[in-house]
């Protein structure tokens, strides 16, 4: 919803606004799975690795490597998640639970895990430009 709610002028604008959104979300949104607490309250004790102010991505294309990409999502009340703009049905019994998704780029697979167990696998074609 954050990305659909506004138009970003450039990458710097996106970076600044995403930090504002992340701060607002982590300080204000409360989840039943977190016993009504915010993400910030739950995770504030974890040591964070912050990128240095001098860090920057090269403006050229980053070469693609075979490997895996993992992400964590909160399922909705129907047991579904979104990865970028794509919806995926995970499991109705896992409504409002956090799941881990991992894309295996060489095999073109997307696997969802809950509590360390594979719960769903999709074919997921990766654009390797």
Report the alpha-carbon distance of residue 91 to residue 99 in Å, rounded: 10
Supply the pLDDT for residue 34. Answer: 76
Supply the pLDDT for residue 45. Answer: 54
- What sign has the CA pseudo-torsion 86, 92, 94, 100? negative
Beta bridge partners of 117: 114
Spans of all domains in the chain: 2-43, 68-123
Supply the pLDDT for residue 62. Answer: 65
Q: Does pTM surpass 0.95?
A: no
In this prediction, the residues of the chain whose per-residue pLDDT falls under 50 are: none
Supply the pLDDT for residue 66. Answer: 84
């Amino acid at each position: 919803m954050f990305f659909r709610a506004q138009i970003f002028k450039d990458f710097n604008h996106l970076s600044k606004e995403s930090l504002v959104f992340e701060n607002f979300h982590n300080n204000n949104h409360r989840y039943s799975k977190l016993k009504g607490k915010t993400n910030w309250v739950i995770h504030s004790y974890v040591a964070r690795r912050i990128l240095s102010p001098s860090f920057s991505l090269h403006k050229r294309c980053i070469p693609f490597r075979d490997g895996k990409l993992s992400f964590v999502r909160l399922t909705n009340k129907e047991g579904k998640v979104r990865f970028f703009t794509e919806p995926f049905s995970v499991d109705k019994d896992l409504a409002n639970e956090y799941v881990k998704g991992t894309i295996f780029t060489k095999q073109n697979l997307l696997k969802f895990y809950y509590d360390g167990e594979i719960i769903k696998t999709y074919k997921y074609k990766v654009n390797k430009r």
